[in-house]
């Protein structure tokens, strides 16, 4: 996408786009985001709004390599960097990436379960995988040929290609999406059986539909949402009652919370909070 310093457009406003704020708790050590020169998310066009949460553009110009870390969510991402157009399935592992020099990435964050109308395969088949977009989409999907693209150029280009796929409304995808949102917003939901009761289906049926449309289990979705909420609270830097949080989030005890948090973030919640309070250093 970019080949040299002259092609980087830094913090240039694109009035045709509407900036949005992604969910809290997705970025680990958010203080480190100052390493980037521009990070922006944009609302999708009206035709893609039922399927896409937002598009995002990240640009950097670094003298030293930088390691970024985010928490994978129950959503599929499409990214374009250089001549690579990739689809990131839901990753259950820690997600870190090293960037260096000068560069940019364009991405699309699909709504949970609503990537499914674009492809023929169950979303579970993409779990823990990164695959070329051309292997999944029905219409050709090739990298852009811009020499000096603005954010508006990039977002318009990727939205046109997504619209060319002609996605159709899928009631089952919307049903799964709404359940993921319910699990994310209602902290009282801590068990799969609760979500199944709300949906009016058996746990097994819920598991099956989530496998096809979401690409992760209901248990993973619930637990990941709670860990992201805890990361967001830690990022505020204030004191946290770990035992109270463990109970509120449905963990058997504080030890189970610590293990789940460390598996996702890489350190214990107490150590993470202390690092945030001291500047967010890894």
User: Which residue segments constitute the domains of the chain, with CATH numbers given?
Assistant: 5-164 (no CATH), 171-277 (1.10.10.60)
* The model's pTM: 0.90
Report pLDDT for 74: 95
Q: What percent of the chain has pLDDT over 90?
A: 70
CA–CA separation, 44 vs 6, rounded Å?
28
Highest mean pLDDT among 59-63, 110-114, 157-161, 263-267: 110-114
**Using one digit for the tens of pLDDT, what is the confidence trace for 53-65?**
999 999 999 888 9
Q: How confident is the model at residue 35 (pLDDT cuts 50, 70, 90)?
A: confident
Alpha carbon dihedral 38, 94, 81, 12, in 10-degree steps, equals -10
pLDDT higher than 70, residue 94: yes
Question: Can you give the pLDDT at residue 87?
Answer: 96
């Amino acid at each position: 996408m970019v080949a040299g310093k002259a092609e980087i457009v830094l913090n240039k406003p694109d009035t045709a786009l509407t900036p949005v704020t992604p969910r809290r708790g997705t970025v680990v050590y958010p203080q480190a985001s100052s390493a980037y020169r521009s990070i922006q998310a944009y609302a999708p066009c009206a035709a893609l709004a039922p399927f896409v949460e937002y598009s995002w553009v990240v640009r950097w110009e670094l003298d030293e390599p930088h390691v970024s870390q985010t928490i994978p969510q129950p959503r599929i991402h499409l990214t374009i960097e250089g001549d690579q157009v990739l689809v990131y399935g839901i990753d259950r592992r820690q997600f870190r990436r090293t960037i260096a020099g000068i560069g940019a990435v364009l991405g699309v964050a699909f709504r949970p379960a609503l990537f499914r109308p674009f492809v023929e395969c169950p979303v579970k088949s993409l779990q823990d995988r990164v695959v070329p977009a051309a292997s999944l989409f029905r219409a050709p999907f090739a990298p852009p040929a811009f020499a000096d693209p603005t954010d508006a150029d990039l977002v318009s280009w990727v939205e046109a290609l997504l619209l060319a796929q002609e996605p159709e409304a899928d009631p089952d995808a919307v049903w799964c999406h709404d359940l993921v949102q319910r699990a994310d917003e209602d902290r009282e939901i801590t068990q799969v059986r609760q979500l199944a009761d709300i949906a009016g289906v058996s746990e097994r049926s819920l598991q099956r539909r989530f496998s096809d449309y979401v690409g992760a289990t209901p248990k993973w979705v619930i637990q990941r949402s709670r860990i992201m909420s805890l990361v967001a609270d830690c990022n505020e830097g204030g004191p946290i009652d770990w035992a109270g949080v463990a109970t509120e989030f449905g963990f058997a005890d504080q030890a189970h919370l610590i293990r789940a948090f460390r598996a996702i973030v890489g350190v214990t919640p107490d150590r993470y909070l202390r690092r945030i309070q001291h500047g967010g250093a890894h």
